[in-house]
Structure 1
Amino acid sequence: MSKRNGAKMEANTEFALRNVEVKARVRQPEKLREVAAKLADSPLVELQQNDQFYKRPAEAGDRLKLRREVGRQPQLVWYSREDVSGPKLSKYRLCLLQDEEQAQKLDLLLADCLGKAGQLKKTRYLYMVGQTRVHLDDVQGLGHFMELEVVLRPDQTIEEGQTIADDLLEKLGVSSDDLITGSYMDAYHAQSCS
């Protein structure tokens, strides 16, 4: 945690966190919510998220966003992953911001330095299944999606995470035909261009 001019920010600066991630389109959201609820170890958490993405250098899979959630601290999120379908490694760093005022200042700074790539709003239904965050997302203007994030422990391999993800995909009844590449922002831009 660092403090500068009374502003407090918390960040994981020692290393990037890791998870194995997979995204898919959802054709029957209510049915998938029922299955996820049965598998979950804890109660459902419903989140209202507003993500502002910023332009980045042309490094494949490298993204930066400012996330605002109702009732939670804003956070700056950097992540990097390959744009392929199916389970893949995602490395990320988080920086919790003190409050909305700090988020607004950071948003202006990043917009001036990098430019804005776009904004997404979604309702996220979060279920925890073991070490995996199961997200069922209703993305404004895009539709229904599912995202698995198998949060890897430092001693776990990517292959172990992929095995966990594959097992959960099967239990959730997610078809390989519904797996997607890229981010929601990529899908939004592709939809806007068509």
Structure 2
Amino acid sequence: MSMRNVEIKARVHDFDAICKIAEELSGAPPTVIHQNDTFYNVNTGRLKLRMYADGSATLVRYDRDDEQGPKLSNYDLLDFSVNESDKIKTLDKMMKQCLGVRGKVIKERRLYMVDQTRIHIDKVEDLGSFMELEVVLHPEQTLIDGQAIARDLQDKLRVKDEDLINCAYVDLFDKK
């Protein structure tokens, strides 16, 4: 089943300050997650295999317009447990052989939860620090509902519009 969320992504100039605000908003310390994403060449949308430090992985397919501000993302997830490391390696090998690799993104992510929103504060290797909001939409919620929640959190996190970015991290590497 496809899922939907509204996303905002922005550059971060003061990592410690935004983490402090995010922790206050969530009422809890972050979950720190190390992620190694391999993006594959595809005709539409984006496809990546996200590998975690514990050996588990998630195959992620998503479509999202490259535009400033809160935008709708449709996505599908296929999770693999630590016990499926052989399957993960085989899948990665098959995808690389058939599709080719578009790029890799390695990051340390701090995850804070605020109601239905995931606040990610990321340190991306060779790229810098970023903030990403993912407002997971309930079936009855509209894009406008999600945009309002995202903008409210953007304001609370003191993220300026001029710091917003309109693309994925892998696209920023392409522009470097």
| TM-score normalised by the chain length of structure 1 | 0.87
| Map of 2:145 onto structure 1 | 160
**Residue type of the partner of 2:30?**
L
| 8 Å contact kept, 1:41–1:130 | no
| Map of 1:131 onto structure 2 | 116
| Map of 1:71 onto structure 2 | 54
CA distance in 1, matches of 2:167, 2:149: 21
1:50-78 per-residue CA deviation (whole Å, 9 max, x = no partner) reads 00000011x3xx00000011226211000
CA distance in 1, matches of 2:175, 2:85: 30
CA distance in 2, matches of 1:43, 1:156: 28
CA displacement at 1:101 relative to structure 2: 1.4
**Residue type of the partner of 1:17?**
M
| 8 Å contact kept, 2:55–2:85 | no
Do structure 1's residue 22 and structure 2's residue 8 form an aligned pair?
yes
| Map of 1:88 onto structure 2 | 71
1:151-189 per-residue CA deviation (whole Å, 9 max, x = no partner) reads 001111111000000000000000000000110000011
Unpaired runs of at least 5, structure 1: 1-14
| Map of 1:102 onto structure 2 | 87
SS in 1 for 2:167: coil
CA distance in 2, matches of 1:70, 1:41: 26
SS in 1 for 2:33: strand
Matches within 5 A, 1:164-179: 164-179=149-164
Give every structure 1 segment of 4 or more consecutive aligned residues whose post-TM-superposition deviation is greater than 6 Å: none
Do structure 1's residue 148 and structure 2's residue 140 form an aligned pair?
no
CA distance in 2, matches of 1:122, 1:100: 20
1:14-55 per-residue CA deviation (whole Å, 9 max, x = no partner) reads x31000001000000100000000000443100000000000
Size of the aligned set, in residue pairs, is: 174
| TM-score normalised by the chain length of structure 2 | 0.96
Greater Rg by CA: 1
Residue identity (%)? 45
| 8 Å contact kept, 1:19–1:150 | yes
CA distance in 1, matches of 2:27, 2:146: 18
**Residue type of the partner of 2:171?**
D
**Residue type of the partner of 2:54?**
G
